[in-house]
Structure 1
Amino acid sequence: MESTSHLILVDDDHEFRRLLGEDLRRRGFSVEAVADAAALDGLLAQRLPDLIVLDWMLPGEDGPSVLRRLRANPRTRAVPVLMLTARNDEFDRVFGLEIGADDYLTKPFLPRELEARIKAILRRTRSPGTQPSLAPRRWRIGPVEFDTVARTLTLPDGTVQPLTGSEFALLSLFVQHPNEVLTRDYLMRATRGRGADVFDRAIDIAVSRLRAKLESDPQVPRAIRSVRGQGYVLAAPVESIE
């Protein structure tokens, strides 16, 4: 990983924040560490990081609320976010992914595990060399246009939907394998890495988020269909257009 990868660490525990920030810097990252949402907003107004490490429990505005704001803002919605929490609860993990987290790590953790998670997220959201080969810049998926450079979907009515890093990685896999059933395990390994903390609903949540942007009616999906007991298939017609 390049030493220029710039992270923002948001955690209100001063000693934890100091020690973790120092460790990440020793591992080659550029790190700015802040205690709350207001300080994060100040940094984001100046420049966007490559990734945000965001604690769940913060004073004032908590982590999930911050994450919702980031995903609702066109300027920050594609910034990868790894959430930290001291609560080892599957509901929290599901909820964090549902509202747009790219990954989730429970305290306490080994610093090298955090490093591995960060690198995995950055590989799939920033480095073209680690994504499936997408020689065409644009694809047509049914009536929707997928721009792999801008990382957007353009709907039939002209609405442009930006994709988060996770959504982009997932859709990139689907367009390379149209009409092919991709198992949940394959999708997890391909988009999150072998070291990911796998739990049953993680990929289902990711597909649901992608369907919400791609499908005209996400409740009756026609583009990305479920295959019971196996995984998902991109059933819509796919063609490269540039």
Structure 2
Amino acid sequence: METPYHLVLVDDDHEFRRLLAEDLRRRGFSVDAVADAAALDGVLAQRLPDLIVLDWMLPGEDGPSILRRLRATPRTQAVPVLMLTARSDDFDRVFGLEVGADDYLTKPFLPRELEARIKAILRRTRGTGAQPSLAPRRWRIGPVEFDTVARTLLLPDGTSQPLTGSEFALLSLFVQHPNEVLTRDYLMRATRGRSADVFDRAIDIAVSRLRAKLDADPQAPRAIRAVRGQGYVLAAPVDVLE
């Protein structure tokens, strides 16, 4: 029997949290439902989940602050996070993506939409169909090594950088198409599914985060370059190592 994906739902609204957790369990997920950052930390100390559903507004430490902390901690850097927000402001959505969210969903939403978003993220991060097939385990991108199994970058100074689900999906596409311009539309559809909004800034933000990990100076990116009016190109030399 296949082990269900393990989710952690973080929301301080008791009734909403209870109902949503029950619905997710009916849809086949294993769910820990908690109310705040301290309770989340308790769950993470025991076991890393496959995905965290994190509310923006929480008592004490809010969602964005928790997300920053997760992304700054090596053990939790690569855990996918889907942000929930009660506001539809573009600022909230863009800010959430900039600090490391893999996706976002605005309340109110249909449970099946949340399920679809979760499954799309898991496909990207767990390699269950949406990821491009990668035969090589390790690639060299300029001076950086890309390990597709560990989902990390090995930098020239010997340090390792974990990749989020979005970053891994993007880099997996780029290494298979070096020196080829990949349009924003293509990148969005390939990494976020057919329902993706091509005017969404998610791809630009994910590319920006990836550049920060690939380049010593992300303000003058060399590995991934923008092509005005078209998209992005992986311009660094690419070799298969293993």
CA distance in 2, matches of 1:163, 1:14: 33
Q: Check the 8 A contact 2:154/2:161 in 1, yes or no.
A: yes
Corresponding residue SS for 1:130? coil
1:201 Cα deviation from its structure 2 partner: 1.8
Alignment of 1:35-46 (within 5 A): 35-46=35-46
Q: Check the 8 A contact 1:117/1:196 in 2, yes or no.
A: no
Residue 20 (structure 1) aligns with:
20
Output the amino acid matched with 2:36: D
Residue 6 (structure 1) aligns with:
6
Output the amino acid matched with 1:48: L
CA distance in 2, matches of 1:241, 1:153: 13
Residue 52 (structure 1) aligns with:
52
Runs of 5+ in structure 1 lacking a partner? none
Corresponding residue SS for 1:225? strand
CA distance in 2, matches of 1:89, 1:41: 28
Residue 29 (structure 1) aligns with:
29
Residue 171 (structure 1) aligns with:
171
Q: Check the 8 A contact 2:130/2:190 in 1, yes or no.
A: no
* Aligned structure 1 segments of 4 or more residues deviating by more than 4 angstroms: none
Output the amino acid matched with 2:117: R
Residue 96 (structure 2) aligns with:
96
Q: Check the 8 A contact 2:182/2:231 in 1, yes or no.
A: yes
Residue 211 to residue 231, structure 1, CA distance change in 2 (3 Å) = same
Residue 147 (structure 1) aligns with:
147
Q: Percent identity?
A: 89
Q: Check the 8 A contact 2:122/2:128 in 1, yes or no.
A: no
Runs of 5+ in structure 2 lacking a partner? none
Question: TM (normalized to structure 2)?
Answer: 0.97
Aligned length: 241
Residue 229 (structure 1) aligns with:
229
Residue 122 to residue 193, structure 1, CA distance change in 2 (3 Å) = same
